[in-house]
Amino acid sequence: MVFVSVFGLILLFFVTQWMVVPISWRAKEDTVSVVIEQGDSMTRIVQRLNEADLIKDGTGLLVLSKLLGKDRYIQAGRYDFMRGTTLYSVWDKLIRGDVALNEVTIPEGLTIKQVAGILKREMQIDSSKFMRVAMDGKFAKSMGISASNLEGYLFPDTYKFSWGTPIEKVVRILVEQFKKTFTDSLTRRAEEISFSLAEVVILASMIEAEARDGEERDLISAVYHNRLKRGMLLQCDPTVIYALPELDRQLLLKDLEIDSPYNTYKYPGLPPGPICNPGRASILAALYPADANYLYFVATGDGSHIFSTTLRQHNNAKIKIKRARSNKM
């Protein structure tokens, strides 16, 4: 009887230590993050917890996991543990697969390569693999996108991803957000103006690349719509820049002579594909251009543009801007 009582007290002591007493915190930070890789055994997980200065002895974790048959079902991902946590809380979080969520913001106007860079920085995603998936025409078609790649369809927004989310799933989430944004009413509007989905996205990407001042999107759209109707060259600088991916300087006149289907100074109509991933505002601008007769615009240098209906007005605007810049020097 005495033996049972002693054993009970010992068991109660260990349970209390396990469930109530906080871990002896050795880390300097108040939160410790531990990344569990796919296929990690419980022994390797305990090792990672020890390397992160979270626990000293993981024997209890190993024994309990083995007894309950939970030693082979730990979800890969990043786990965040806070100061004051107990050993049981650590085990429970791992067993439940309570992985941390990464909040990632994809700004408007980025290329596939730039999106890959953000995801690499924020989630340690393999940017090269992301590029391969996003540039795969078959993968695009599997999501209902009739394009050779997903440039233009990786929708800019703020997302929350679980650490270790497969790259294919990340890409699908971005494309699905684009689909949700391009509603049936927008599809009908595209049909009204005789534009395909692809053409809307291409034009929206050009507007996104040009419109540093968001209030001018519909005016820029009007210029391109008017030029398309008249069969004029679109003469969009960002399309040429897109055709020169290694360009690390300002665009020069000689660059406008490159032989590329993206050179809208040389080839009429829209380029063969989007030049960036546009946001909702630019998509709406592509579908609803301003009611204006403008055919030209030139950047002032402060993010805005001067719009003109005639070439003479346009040339005068360029002279005016050049003089203003000279006076500031």
Mean pLDDT of 193-219: 95
| 304 lies in the same domain as 220 | yes
- Final residue of a structural domain among 68, 99, 130: 99
| 225 lies in the same domain as 312 | yes
Mean pLDDT of 81-90: 80
In a domain, 9, yes or no: no
Q: What is the pLDDT of residues 19-78, one digit of tens each?
A: 555 565 565 667 888 888 878 888 888 888 888 877 777 777 777 777 766 666 788 888
| 108 lies in the same domain as 205 | no
- Final residue of a structural domain among 81, 99, 117: 99
In a domain, 28, yes or no: yes
CA-to-CA dists, residue 7 to 13, 20, 87, 315, angstroms: 10, 19, 21, 94
The model's pTM is 0.82
In a domain, 188, yes or no: no
Query: Which structural domain, as residue segments, surrounds residue 166?
Result: 102-181
In a domain, 75, yes or no: yes
In a domain, 5, yes or no: no
| 48 lies in the same domain as 62 | yes
CB 255 within 8 A of CB 131: no
Domain count, the chain: 3
pLDDT of residue 74: 80
Closest CA to 131 of 150, 145, 144: 150
Structure tokens at 329: 């020097």
What is the CATH classification number for the domain harbouring 112? Answer: 3.30.1490
pLDDT of residue 50: 83
In a domain, 242, yes or no: yes
What is d(CA 266, CA 269) in angstroms, rounded to the nearest whole number?
Answer: 10
